[in-house]
Amino acid sequence: MDTKFSVAVHALILISESPKPIDSERMARSVGTNASYIRKILGLLKKANIVGSHRGVTGFSLLLPPERLTLLRVYQAVMGESQCHLLDIHQNASDQCIVGRHIRPVLTSMFEQAESAFTRALSEQTLAQCIEGIRGRL
């Protein structure tokens, strides 16, 4: 399972809540990974104009207010897909089998509905809501 999305949200909350730009080493300690992986994620977020950095200043800052940053935008930035693609169908099903012959269109329809619901849910959630969720647990 790919964890880029959850790591990105974690890092963005740290960036948003830090009073000064936070570096990848501090983020890595909080996330429980190495700084190079954090820099890879931050590079994707920077390319999507979600975070920025300034020459001569260590650390990153948000380019959007948390209230305007949807989780869908974060997901698409780090997963590299315009649409959420969660589920794949196995290849090479036998056309000689009644199930093999019909499984792809049946599952494709179901999977598209699930992915559409996932996309809709992420588009309705913001980084600010994640921050509030953290604060609510304190």
Average confidence score pLDDT of the chain: 91
Instruction: Please write the tens of the pLDDT for every residue from 42-74.
Output: 999 999 999 998 765 678 889 999 999 999 999
* Terminal Cα distance for the chain, rounded: 29
| Spatial separation of the C-alpha atoms in residues 83 and 46, rounded to whole Å | 20
pLDDT for residue 29 is more than 80: yes
| Spatial separation of the C-alpha atoms in residues 37 and 41, rounded to whole Å | 6
Instruction: With both helix axes pointing from N to C terminus, report the angle between 71-79 and 35-47 in degrees, rounded to the nearest 10.
Output: 110
Specify the pLDDT at position 78: 95
Instruction: Please write the tens of the pLDDT for every residue from 68-107.
Output: 999 999 999 999 876 677 788 888 888 899 999 999 999 9
Q: Of all helices (H) and strands (E), which one includes residue 34?
A: none
The residue among 75, 113, 107, 102 whose CA lies nearest residue 88 is 107
| Spatial separation of the C-alpha atoms in residues 50 and 60, rounded to whole Å | 10
